[in-house]
Structure 1
């Protein structure tokens, strides 16, 4: 899922600007490096460098002063767009970079006619709730969505409704 127009966001009291753009082939190693500590702490599912390279067209990155500080994968399905491999460098957290990536994903979802963003998370549920996502109770998760919850991980599924289908943001 590509959007060739970079998103630039500046934050009050924070410089330089953050740019959200489609990942490039040369970003795969940097994405793997950024993701590694989150995999070790069980916050992300491990993805090989080969898989990241194969899915580079689904990935977006956030850079600050040319340095990769965040990433997010977006897989398209009939029922919505699934967010995966979403992480922000520890020293860049708390500056709105995750929000920029989610806004980018929502804009892409609306443009492609999708009704919702889905995200599975074991630890960041409150973060998603603060950004308008709703937790889907386990008994209300449709069977076709269960594949997004890796068995045994203890993740919860969250959704963000993309109500304004005609928005051009």
Structure 2
């Protein structure tokens, strides 16, 4: 795991694209990955290629996890858990008190890691307003202890 760099933007976009095509992730332009590269933690494979990523965006004292993906051949290997643990540690280091995410999938990994369903109104307002109601995503949250 490492923090992403601006020059990872094209690879972040390429990693995310197949998940956006299936509707698992929202479509995001390359410009977003370039501008927000510092939000991301990435997992690299033995050949140096990015195999997973997770963004953490701060909203006052809360954080929002977004664009979480792991390449299919690494799913089930623990990579997603390690990315989530690293993002949680980053949030604690930044003194955030809660984490939120939205998922159209089962959310099993989040639920196993202390997240629970919440009403979108409990989430940071600007982020909650940006959710696409057509995606029918569930909002999950986790309080962070100091």
- TM-score w.r.t. the length of structure 2 is 0.90
Q: Is the 8 A contact 2:103 2:138 kept in 1?
A: yes
* Aligned positions of 1:119-158 closer than 5 A: 119-137=101-119, 141=122, 144=125, 146-158=128-140
1:92 shift after superposition:
0.6
Structure-2 separation of matches of 1:105 and 1:143: 18
Provide the residue aligned with 1:58 in structure 2. Answer: 39
Structure-1 separation of matches of 2:62 and 2:122: 14
Provide the residue aligned with 1:99 in structure 2. Answer: 81
1:161 shift after superposition:
1.5
Q: Is the 8 A contact 1:34 1:89 kept in 2?
A: yes
1:30 shift after superposition:
1.1
- Aligned pairs, number: 144
Give the CA RMSD over aligned residues: 1.7
Q: Is the 8 A contact 2:6 2:34 kept in 1?
A: yes
Alpha carbons of structure 1 residues 162 and 36: separation in structure 2 relative to 1, 3 Å: same
Which ranges of structure 1 fall in alignment gaps of 5 or more residues?
A: 1-19
Structure-2 separation of matches of 1:92 and 1:142: 30
Alpha carbons of structure 1 residues 132 and 143: separation in structure 2 relative to 1, 3 Å: closer
Structure-1 separation of matches of 2:73 and 2:132: 28
Which ranges of structure 2 fall in alignment gaps of 5 or more residues?
A: none
Of 57, 75, 92, the match for 1:75: 57
Question: Which structure dedicates a bigger proportion of its chain to strand?
Answer: 1
Provide the residue aligned with 1:23 in structure 2. Answer: 4
Question: Which structure dedicates a bigger proportion of its chain to helix?
Answer: 2
The alignment partner of 2:51 has SS state of strand
Q: Is the 8 A contact 1:149 1:156 kept in 2?
A: no
Q: Is the 8 A contact 1:135 1:158 kept in 2?
A: yes
Q: Is the 8 A contact 1:28 1:49 kept in 2?
A: yes
- TM-score w.r.t. the length of structure 1 is 0.79
Provide the residue aligned with 1:90 in structure 2. Answer: 72
